[in-house]
Amino acid sequence: MGRPISNLIGQIFGYLKVKSYAGRGKNGHSMWTCLCLLCGKIKVILGKALVSGGTISCGCAKPSNFKDLTGQFFGMFNQLEVLHRSDKIDTQGNKRYWVYRCTICLIEKEIGGWHLTSGSIKSCGNKDCQSSHDVRVAGGKAGAIIIHGLSGTFLYKLYLNMIYRCYDLTNKSYKNYGARGITVYEPWRNNIFSFILYTMFCMPETLAQFEARTGKRATIGRIDNDGNYEPGNIQWETDQEQGQNKQNNVLNPEIVRFIKAEDKAGKTGTYIFEQVKIKYGFKGSLSVIGRVIRNEIWTNIK
C-alpha cells in the first residue's frame, strides 16, 4: 500500500489517537487506524477528517462536546501550559486528561482538564512555585526564579489582581478584562520588580504620594479603558474613580484634546464638563475633568 504524505502516528485529534497507517481509501486519500479515547473502540478514519477537526471520535461524541485545551495557559501567573491530550480517561469515560508543563520549574504532569478550567488547581504543586509565589526572571534562563519577598503586601495584592483579571479564566472580572483582549505588559507580567520600578520612578506620583494626597487607598487603573496595562496607560485611582471608569464614561484621546484646548482657551472646568457631556455623551464626574486640566492624568497628550 502507498505511503502517506505525513506521519500522524501517535498524534491525538479530539478523542482519537492515531495508532497506525491503514493505507489509502477509494479516493486515494490516506486512512488511519485510531483508538477512541472515550470508549476504547478502534476505527479507521480519513486523515483529512482528523487534521481538519471534522472527526473527533469514533462517533460516540459530537464536536460541540469537545474543548481542546492544547496551547492554553492556566493557574497562578498563567504558569501551567497545556501541551497535549493524555491517553488517560476517567472511569466513566467522559472526562479528559491533559499533559501540562509548569513554566516555572518545567515539570510535566498529567491532570484532569476540569481542574484547570475550574481553577481548582493553580500550580504544579511544587512548594517553590505554589506557596512562595515565585516570578520568572525577565530575560533569564527557562525555569530561573527569584523570591521577591512581597507576598501579603498591599502592592503585591494589586499586582496579583491585575494579573488575574487578564489571565485567569475563572476570575469573576475576567469577562471585563481578559475576555476583551486586555493584557499586561510582558516584562511586568513576568517580573513584579519591573512593575514596581515603573510605579516608583515613571508615574507622575508614587503610591505613597497618591494616598497622602487623596487620603484613600489606591487601585491600579487604566487611562484608556480599551488599552492594556502598559507603560503610559496606568495610573493610581481611588475605588470611586475606578468605579467611574466604565466603558460608557471613560475618556479617550479625542475628548482629552478637547478638554485641554478648552482649558487653554480660558474656559472653566464646569463649562468644559457640560460641553463634554453634550458633545461626547460623557457620564463621568467633574473631578475627572479636573484631573485632566491639572495634568494629573493623560499627561502624554498636550
Strand partners, 174: none
At residue 64, the pLDDT reads: 46
Sort residue 109 into left (φ over 0), alpha (ψ -120 to 50) or beta.
beta
Which of 110-119, 139-148, 160-169 has the weakest average pLDDT? 139-148
At residue 149, the pLDDT reads: 54
At residue 93, the pLDDT reads: 47
Domain boundaries in the chain?
12-65, 73-126, 148-240, 248-302
Helix, strand, coil percentages (3-state) for the chain, rounded to 5, are 35, 20, 45
Query: In which band, very low, low, confident or very high, does the pLDDT at 132 lie, cut at 50, 70 and 90?
Result: very low
SS3 at position 270 = helix
At residue 242, the pLDDT reads: 67
Q: Work out the end-to-end distance of the chain between its first and last CA atoms, rounded to an integer number of angstroms.
A: 73
CA distance 38 to 95: 8
Residue with cell 457631556: 277
The set of residues, in sequence order, having a beta carbon less than 8 Å from that of 80 and lying 6+ positions away, is 73, 74, 100, 101, 102, 103, 116, 121, 122, 123, 124
What average pLDDT score do residues 11-24 get? 87
232-285 confidence digits (pLDDT tens): 888 888 876 666 555 445 677 788 889 999 999 999 999 999 999 898 888 777
At residue 137, the pLDDT reads: 31
Which grid coordinates belong to 37?
Answer: 479515547
Instruction: Report whether pLDDT(144) > 50.
Output: no
CA distance 172 to 164: 9
Spatial contact of 7 and 14, defined as CB atoms under 8 Å apart: no
At residue 212, the pLDDT reads: 84
* Burial status of residue 16 (CB atoms within 10 A of its CB: 0-12, 13-18, 19 or more): buried
Which H or E run contains 110? strand 108-112
Using a pLDDT cut of 70, give the percent of the chain over it: 77
Of the candidates 156, 141, 284, 216, which has an alpha carbon nearest to the alpha carbon of residue 292?
A: 284
Cα angle value 134/238/299 (rounded, 5°): 90
